Structure 1
Amino acid sequence: MGKKVEVTITEGTLRGMLSKDYHDGVFYSFIGIPYAKPPIGELRFKAPEPVEPWKGVKNATKVGAESPQYMKIMMGKEDNCLNLNVFTKELSQGLKKPVMVFIHGGGFVSGSSRPDLIYGPEFLMTEDIVLVTINYRLGILGFLSLTDRSLNVPGNAGMKDQVMALKWVQKNIKYFGGDPNNVTIFGESAGGAAVHFLVVSPLAKGLFHKAICQSGCVLNPWATGVPNGVEVAKAMGYRSDASEDYILKRLKSASVSRIMKGQNKFQMNFNPNHVRTVSVVVEYPHEGAFLTQHPLEILKAGKQNQVPMIMGYNSLEGLFFELVGRICTFPYCRLPNSMESDIPHNCDVDPTNTKLVDKAANDIKSFYYKDEKVSKRNKQIRYLITNDTVFMYGIQKSIQLHKKTGSTPIYAYRMSIESDLNVCKKFAQAKSPTFFTCIFGISLLTGSSGIGKIATSMKLHNLPGVCHADDLFYLFKANHLGKIQKDSELDKWIQRFVKLWTNFARTGNPTPAPGSDLVLERAVWKPVGSTDIDFIFNIDHGLRCTGLDAAEMERMKFWNKYHTNFGV
């Protein structure tokens, strides 16, 4: 709509603009708001510091910079990447509307909260909430971790950015009509894992009151790592015997593009057998530490922040690796000669014991492939293995641990809806992936719904299941989408997701009050009970609570024997 509007917060005055949701309702947009000082100079790799007040009126109508990242091309800016967006229907203190803070995914190495590409607020803003979406530091800039305490780079700077953003929300959200005492954090993939890390971090205690983890958790093997100075130095081409002091000095003086090129050598390795170089680490004890104990031990002891939660996954997360393999030359996306790379590094198998490793690899092959040979003809089995090892199993066990040691309800879900909104699956299954990439990329950048329709109507290799990240397109309006007709099938599916998520943010229970919501058709989402995953909400055309299906249960039992360390 373009009409300007102003609001004064703690640090100064912001100029935003009027916008419309996809049902033509009006809301206010304030984008690119700084919440911390620029992380440059001496603040590179360090914990964030609060943003300084400004004079005059700050323009909050232009997209803020994303954290530097390298995905074929260099993107982002380091000097002003710590910014967030706020969307609200009313600008008045004292309204106390539920607040939802979204954390984007991207494997801790890519992504942003840009509302003009994927994370448009137009779906969620049909509900009376205040929505906040944030940017945080990624890759080496956000997750360099050194063991030398004198250097004060213990790691997790990107996670501390998120904590700083939540502190900003506590201080300022009242000016946008939001309730600082009713904040729900939610995120997908690495964003889902980030939400879970905030749940187990003492540094985030009291900054939020509910949490939704979509397709990511602290027990996924890619989420938790170890100090990475040696690996980063190797990627940057520094001498092999370099001290951490030397590494830090070189990195602080290096250009952003040079750091991104070094990071590109390892950033896409999500092999479950591999401890990722960029991930969240356990820090040595110090003031301001984000995490000083392994999250598994925190969950076992019930020391997590006790808040109501939703956790879940898509029905075929592993299909995402076909998509990734089409974008880059990621080795794990190739067909393996052995199943050794499928043995999660956080399971019971000692990687130095060759006999145990061989036995586990043979067990995996026998269980998943039966008598079949590994080939392109049965690639769906690869998708299933990565689905389980990289995503589903860790999420299921996290749910069980929360139920065992938690004092608040936890709700489990499986996303199974398949429609024209499932763009990631279409990309992964497109018979002409290069053409699809070009067409879809153009539609995103230009906002052309016509070009977007061409992309989403291309011929596919059909395989049942919902790909990793496809749930996003039911919560956020991607730029390629055209007008969605009210009361159409797509509209109903979007509203189902939106209402479940916002009901939870409003009350801590995703099920609406009896008779209050025809879109959800009287669906009842029960919290997880006392036995394993006895209630899982299947988000499909039926919207019903079920248990695990027989195939999922069988796969869970298979991996249980290799994860006795999880304690459930």
Structure 2
Amino acid sequence: MYKLSRTAQLSAVRSRSLLKLSCAIGLALGAAAAATPASAAEVTSASAANRPKVATQDGTVKGVIQNGVSVFYGIPYAEPPVGDLRWQPPKRKAPWTNVLDASNYGPICAQVTTLGPFAGPPNANEDCLYLNVFTPNVAPTGKGKLPVIFWIHGGGNFDGASTGYDGTKLAADGHTVVVTINYRLNLMGWLSHPALNKGVFGNYGIMDQQLALKWVQRNIDRFGGDKNNVTVGGQSAGAQDTGMHVISPLSQGLLHRAIYESSVPSTIPTAEIALARGIAMSVAAGCGSGADKATAQCLRNLTPEQVETLAGTQSATSAYITGPFVDGTVITQQPWQAWSNGQFAHIPMMDGRVQDEANFGLANTEYFKDPQVPYTEADFTSYVTTTYSGNAGPVNTPPTYPAGTVNKVLAKYPLYAYASPQLALDAVQTDPGACRDRHYTKILGPQVPYYAYEFDERTAPTYYPKLPGFQFLAYHTSDIQYLFPLWHGGPQGKIHELNKKQAALSDQLVDAWTNFAWTGNPNGQGNNPWPVYKATGSKPVILSQNIPVLTTMTDAQFSAAHKCDFWEKTLIIPD
């Protein structure tokens, strides 16, 4: 089994390498369904005498013991962002005097709740700025403080919650303190409008996360954590947001390592784009485009349900949906510019993707088809033609592609080379993102200790029912359950059982992730399969986590598998 010693890590000097994980790690678009702690795992004792209690700077909290770990659910870190505080920077929670019962999650943030098998629970609420702490060692001060893993959930920044992320395995097996959070989503978290834009504005979701990181600085030592050793990580949109903290001047000093699962941020909307979207939403809501107090009041009078209706449905096609953007204060430049000019926190980083990222989106699309039917050759041709005919569409892609790109893509991905049109679609949709990430890995690799991987285990449990003719691969989000056991558990919080080989892989991942939190290096004494990624000098290496062992592949092998020579010439990737 891949068991890593921290003794060697604490003294070793690390470099870089690209890791290929043969299990699924992906970009989560859907939130794991919420579950109460009692349904997620056995709570050892509910009696007041045995429940752990911690006095934070804001007030005392009383948690529960779960799987041998002290867990504190639903700790408020900000005042509810309601009324005049809607679409304002978060305000630190006022101290409380009574003991807070921290035995249940707080409400999730307002969001669309019609996402099929991975829908969020119906208790979406604007009063949602809560965090959870999982610690194996409640100790107020002194030596032996534990590294902190601060996890940002995915979901496209319009969906998701902390409720699906059970941190007990990372805390117990890796001897770390795990913090998971809720933050404002969708229009509640990212709306920019002239009637609201006074001072710092728009990136409210990022500001929520920053306030939670400041809570960690003030309080985590009370839970046995080390405020000077905080690893910020996330998956999908959570990885994008992690990158925002690496480049934001307002997050400096709040994090010491970074983990990107399924997304290195590159290009985000400008302030002008965000403002135009906000005005369009306001007009659609009947509030107009003015910058006066009446317009602001009209927007704040909208119910959460009205806001979410405007935001869009599961198709995520709404013009109003947004996420982090360059506002000049919280985020001062494009991520790709920061990576290229070195203006970011120079801290150890770990980055990777699942092998078949697009498999998730394809499954989701087929799930909502009526009737559910397999993908066809026409579907493949239509996708390529629509995507590469000149207008790339989404803001995270180039504005246009050169003439003739459609024919080049069709020639590079001939349908006869794939067992089904679905597998051809998987490849043509996955590879551009994989190559874009590799491009920035090559830029970041020489600047900081950087570990890269690909997760390609294709047998992970799925929350989808069987779909006609559909082949599940290493799809976006499938890796999460190897780190957070409750993920994909469904509304009842039923943990998917991993078989022995999958459980061994889960142990390997937890070892690597928590070793990285301890030292900035995922390896251990006598077992160092994962070198740092270097773009020059030695051959770059990608770590492949597969069942039953970890293996490596060269950067050149990764590039060939995803046709990166073709995509780097085809995509207009800023650097």
TM range, smaller chain: 0.7 to 0.9
CA distances 1:249-293 after superposition (whole Å, capped 9, x unpaired)? 3321100001011111587249xxxx8831211004xxxx21021
Secondary structure of the structure 2 residue equivalent to 1:252: helix
* Range that drifts further, 302-311 or 534-543: 534-543
Paired residue for 1:409? 449
Q: Check whether the contact 1:102–1:186 (CA below 8 A) recurs between aligned residues.
A: yes
Q: Check whether the contact 1:234–1:240 (CA below 8 A) recurs between aligned residues.
A: no
Paired residue for 1:88? 135
Q: Check whether the contact 2:242–2:260 (CA below 8 A) recurs between aligned residues.
A: yes
For 1:502, which of 514, 519, 540 is the aligned residue? 514
Secondary structure of the structure 1 residue equivalent to 2:413: helix
Note closer, same or farther for the CA distance 1:7–1:556 as it changes in structure 2 (3 Å cut).
same
Tell me the distance in 2 between the aligned counterparts of 1:535 and 1:256.
47
Please show how residues 406-555 of structure 1 align to structure 2 within 5 Å.
406=447, 408-419=448-459, 421-423=460-462, 427=464, 430-431=466-467, 461-462=470-471, 465-478=473-486, 479-481=493-495, 488-514=500-526, 522-531=527-536, 534-541=540-547, 542-548=549-555, 550=557, 552-553=559-560, 555=563
Q: Check whether the contact 1:2–1:17 (CA below 8 A) recurs between aligned residues.
A: yes
Paired residue for 2:349? 309
Given residue 139 of structure 1, which amino acid in structure 2 is its aligned partner? N
For 1:218, which of 265, 286, 296 is the aligned residue? 265
Paired residue for 1:435? none
| Structure showing greater relative contact order (alpha-carbon pairs closer than 8 Å, 6 or more residues apart) | 2
Paired residue for 1:363? 408
Please show how residues 150-229 of structure 1 align to structure 2 within 5 Å.
151-152=198-199, 154-219=201-266, 227-229=273-275
Which segments of 5 or more consecutive residues in structure 1 lack a partner in the other structure? Answer: 21-25, 433-459, 515-521
Paired residue for 1:437? none
How far is 1:147 from its partner? 5.4
Q: Check whether the contact 1:38–1:79 (CA below 8 A) recurs between aligned residues.
A: yes
Q: Check whether the contact 1:40–1:78 (CA below 8 A) recurs between aligned residues.
A: no
CA distances 1:430-476 after superposition (whole Å, capped 9, x unpaired)? 236xxxxxxxxxxxxxxxxxxxxxxxxxxx7446x410001101001
* Range that drifts further, 473-482 or 52-61: 473-482
Percentage identity across paired residues of the two chains: 26
Q: Check whether the contact 2:187–2:320 (CA below 8 A) recurs between aligned residues.
A: no
Paired residue for 2:566? 558
Paired residue for 1:108? 157
Q: Check whether the contact 2:268–2:324 (CA below 8 A) recurs between aligned residues.
A: no
Secondary structure of the structure 2 residue equivalent to 1:282: coil
How far is 1:410 from its partner? 0.4
Tell me the distance in 1 between the aligned counterparts of 2:227 and 2:532.
25
How far is 1:190 from its partner? 0.6
Given residue 544 of structure 2, which amino acid in structure 1 is its aligned partner? N
Paired residue for 1:396? 438
Q: Check whether the contact 2:196–2:296 (CA below 8 A) recurs between aligned residues.
A: no
Tell me the distance in 2 between the aligned counterparts of 1:556 and 1:83.
41
Secondary structure of the structure 2 residue equivalent to 1:202: coil
Secondary structure of the structure 2 residue equivalent to 1:54: coil
Secondary structure of the structure 2 residue equivalent to 1:186: strand
**RMSD (Å), alpha carbons:** 3.0
CA distances 1:407-441 after superposition (whole Å, capped 9, x unpaired)? x200000002233x4325xx28x236xxxxxxxxx
Q: How many residues align?
A: 498
Tell me the distance in 2 between the aligned counterparts of 1:548 and 1:502.
25
The question of 1:68 aligning with 2:110 is answered yes
For 1:59, which of 77, 101, 106 is the aligned residue? 101
Secondary structure of the structure 2 residue equivalent to 1:306: coil
Q: Check whether the contact 2:279–2:288 (CA below 8 A) recurs between aligned residues.
A: no
Which segments of 5 or more consecutive residues in structure 2 lack a partner in the other structure? Answer: 1-43, 487-492
Note closer, same or farther for the CA distance 1:269–1:398 as it changes in structure 2 (3 Å cut).
farther
